[in-house]
Chain A
Amino acid sequence: MNFNHETTKLDFVRHRKKFFTFSAVLISVGIILLSTLGLNLGIDFSSGTTMDVLADETVTEEEIADQFAAIGLEPDDITLAGDENDVGRAVFIGVLSQEETLEAQRHFEEVYGNVPTVSSVTPIVGQELAMNALISVLIAAVGIIIYVTIRFQLLYGLAAIIALFHDALFILAIFSIIQWEVNIPFIAAVLTIIGYSINDTIVTFDRIRENMKLEERVKTFEDVARVVNKSLIQTLARSINTVLTVVFAAGALLIFGGEAIRTFSLALVIGLVAGTYSSLFIAAQLWAVMKGRQLKKAKFNSKDVQESEA
């Protein structure tokens, strides 16, 4: 996998409109789904109690329901998990009281020998968590724009942030389609992807910046496009190798990591792919378009100046 920018016939910039359209369609579908179906919010973000019961043996939903009935509780939903269906997850809408929780823990410890995992959230706390996550993403975004503007230029920062929101929305869209339950580690995954996405974009931008300096004249959009293409091809091997290795790690977590981190690792895998896609096909192209416009404007302005001077 070696890519020589003089011999490799890959044009990343020419097809930009297809990439933009593809992402725009996907994101709009995602937004429509998000606003209609919405995410399947776990109790971390709504309110209620979930209880994971480890049985050390295969159980059925009826068995779990019977056990809860024995202590006078009726879960609103029961699902099974674990490789041998040995974990029962019961969801209660509305928070169980401390006594009910403790009673249930005692009961299941007697029956199965393991203390169940119980998580209860009141509505206020759940909303605060989601709000905090949103605020922290916005703060991180502003921080990144400022940093990139100082180290690079504002246009790079803008393109990087658009790519970042693209990736975050991409994950949210996929999760609203597959309707997996979203929990707090999911937020951690989305934030990680934001970090990765920016990391990945910066590496290609860094090469574009370097090549822009090497170019003697960059006057038109075509010049910009040539530089962007060259830079993307030069960093292509790195982009592919990096995403492959990280996907190995995240993929291993997804397949072998157990149900406790399944949502987290799936969000990571989706995000990593999206992050690489946006760095290769969206971010640099967006920058090229913006840079092209800037150059055009500068040209007109200098013409104006010349005319008025004449």
Chain B
Amino acid sequence: MKNKKRGVKKWRIAVFFLIVSFFAGLIAVNVTDHAEDISLGLDLQGGFEVLYEVTPIDESQEVDRDLLTDTVAAINARIDVLGVSEPNVRIEGEDRIRVQLAGVTDQQTARELLSTEARLSLRDVEDNLLLDGSDFVEGGASPNFHAETNRPIVSITLRDANQMAEVSQQVMEYDPPDNVMAIWLDYEEGDTFAEEINKEDSKIVSAPSVNRTLRTTDIMIESQTFTVEETRHLAGILNAGALPVQLDEVYSNSVGASLGERAMDLAVTAGFIGVALIFAYMLLYYRFMGIMAVITLSVYIYFVLVVFNWMNAVLTLPGIAALILGVGMAVDANIITYERIKDELRSGKSMMSAFKSGSRRSLSTILDANITTILAAGVLFYYGNSAVQGFAVMLITSILVSFITAVYGSRLLLGLWVNSRILNKKPKLFGVKESEISEL
């Protein structure tokens, strides 16, 4: 009895409790902050994703890298008008642009704003071009109020007052009521004034009559239906500049905020239940080693959140699934190690040497298994669309973090106990029966 006790190194156990309480404190203090900081994908918080196909407006133009980059810049400038945080706009393939806006409250407006080409032009009643975008001062549009009616308007600035005078004289050559100067947004070849003016969702923003020569650089865009919000948006996209191309939606996915929230709540609840089941099973089956597994798994989940935040990655629904799958992989690494240690114990080795050789021999297995899975996740990331990519990023992060926590963390914690010698001759704690141990 005395012999056994002499070798116990209590300080190692003290170190163990120190480490565990450190992490417990760290997790308790920080976990909600980290969890709240994670940016959610549009499937979890609502928002929309559109894949545009780019076709040039001008037929002589070719869709090349420069044109696409310009278009992305123009789209980004418009998103600034909307004030969306963390937009994601990127070029895909030869002639596609993918726009992801998570957390947009007014999806309808946002989508209309994005695909408007915002080519402003002034035309007469026979659709002859009077003035176009190049005649206006860049960044000269601003939301305003009509001086008399106090209705919201957008004012734009011309480069040259004389030009305006010339143009207004041209318009006055028509007899009333045809003496109008139509302000068009996105005029296309074939559109006519006569047709468009009566449409409900007309491309003609306003069509004021001109009765005298206007020698001014200020033009007012008026509409009976303008709201303050709309004038702000219109001025914003006019300043952001016209899109150099035409955008057609080939894929779109828009998630309502409440549906996204619901999906997230359910997935998180399911995750908690799954993790709780895993913990219970590990404790029941591996006893003492199970406690180590539960500690390292908790630290693993915490670290995944921290790393994920640090990478600024976006958590999607499949991402939550990958996180839970990662728990499975981390558990697997634990199980492989523990089974090895049990094998060694059964073969009659002492506690300390069983721990040592068990950890060493399980490492190459875990390494091979994890590398092959990372390989598969890497391919997923490279070829997948956004949802699948969210999954792949999470899977790779999970595997790397699980490798560190499950292999080194578990080894460190278990090692402190084993090397304290307090566990010597107590294989039962590891779930190994005395009867199973063969003599060396």
Contact = CB atoms under 8 A, between A and B. Distances in A.
Interface of A: 1-2, 4, 52, 54, 56, 87, 98-99, 101-102, 105-106, 114-122, 124-125, 129, 132-133, 135-136, 139-140, 143-144, 147-148, 151, 184-185, 187-188, 191-192, 194-196, 198-200, 202-203, 206-207, 210, 234-235, 237-238, 241-242, 244-246, 248-253, 255-258, 260-261, 264-265, 268
Nearest to B109: A102
A140 B281 contact: no
A240 B345 CA distance: 20
B253 A260 contact: no
A203 B258 CA distance: 43
* Chain A contact residues: helix, strand, loop or mixed: helix
Nearest to B379: A140
A148 B372 contact: yes
15 contacts: A101-B254, A105-B256, A117-B254, A118-B252, A118-B253, A125-B51, A129-B385, A136-B380, A136-B382, A147-B375, A185-B321, A191-B376, A249-B274, A260-B317, A261-B267
A188 B391 contact: yes
Nearest to A160: B372
A185 B249 contact: no
B318 A264 contact: yes
B253 A265 contact: no
Interface centre among A118, A133, A238 (most CB of B within 10 A): A238
Given A117-B256, A264-B321, A188 B380 contact: yes
Interface residues of B, number: 78
B282 A199 contact: no
Given A52-B259, A115-B256, A238-B335, A136 B364 contact: no
A249 B280 CA distance: 12
A98 B111 contact: yes
A251 to B, nearest CB: 7
Contacts of A192: 322, 325, 376, 391, 395
B339 A99 contact: no
Interface centre among B51, B275, B282, B391 (most CB of A within 10 A): B391
Given A54-B262, A249-B277, 20 more contacts: A2-B436, A98-B249, A117-B256, A187-B384, A202-B369, A202-B372, A207-B365, A210-B361, A238-B332, A249-B324, A249-B327, A251-B274, A258-B262, A258-B263, A260-B259, A260-B263, A260-B266, A261-B317, A268-B321, A268-B325
Given A115-B46, A242-B331, A246-B325, A199 B262 contact: no
Contacts of A115: 46, 107, 254, 256-258
Contact of A199 (B332, B346, B391): B332
Interface in B23-66: 43, 46, 51
B335 A242 contact: yes
B149 interface: no
B46 to A, nearest CB: 7
A93 to B, nearest CB: 16
A54 B285 CA distance: 43
Nearest to B285: A241
A121 B251 contact: yes
A238 B266 contact: no
Given A140-B375, A143-B379, A148-B372, A188 B388 contact: yes
Interface centre among B201, B385, B395, B436 (most CB of A within 10 A): B385
A253 B375 contact: no
B440 to A, nearest CB: 16
A102 B108 contact: yes
A244 to B, nearest CB: 7
B219 to A, nearest CB: 28
A120 B252 contact: yes
B266 A105 contact: no
Contact of B369 (A199, A210, A253, A261): A199
B112 interface: yes
A249 B278 contact: yes
A139 B274 contact: no
Interface string B316-341: 01100110110111011001100100
Contacts of A143: 375, 379
A188 B262 CA distance: 21
Contacts of B321: 185, 188, 253, 257, 261, 264-265, 268
A147 B372 contact: yes
Given A102-B112, A106-B108, A143-B375, A118 B332 contact: no
Contacts of A101: 252, 254
